[in-house]
Homo-oligomer: A and B are copies of this chain.
């Protein structure tokens, strides 16, 4: 799988480097029928995700990606082209919405913004950063809206 960006050479960001309102935009990823069917076979084996013919009779009238596939691609785009968080991008949870389906040929891109920073009371070396993301297709329509809570570490945690 290839995306249009690579995060490997950016400096890692610590909790103190993050501010509310910080925005980012990832690279892009093109999804095709083979990827959709392959993911469905592994994780969401329903006709509307793995059979173009059966999907014609379904709610969407054609093949669409599993919402979890859209979520997984969103994660890939954030890991490869989002903010390079020190210690990794470790999610503790969040909310997700799929306002419209992802279809074969769609080119996805993620736009994100930090919406809150909550220092931990019990662990002063870390905190929770909430990021709101919008995963858009090539027409600019949102296929996923998410608010993800990520665990982040202070620079001092490195030597703790």
Contacts and interface: CB of A to CB of B under 8 A. Distances in A.
A159 to B, nearest CB: 14
A38 to B, nearest CB: 9
Contacts of A92: 97-98
Q: What is the total number of copies of this protein in its complex?
A: 2
Interface residues of A, number: 35
Given A66-B72, A91-B98, A94-B96, 17 more contacts: A43-B72, A43-B76, A44-B72, A44-B76, A45-B79, A46-B79, A47-B88, A48-B88, A68-B68, A71-B71, A72-B72, A92-B97, A93-B95, A93-B96, A93-B98, A95-B95, A96-B96
Interface of A: 1, 39, 42-48, 58-59, 66-68, 71-73, 75-76, 79-80, 87-98, 145, 151
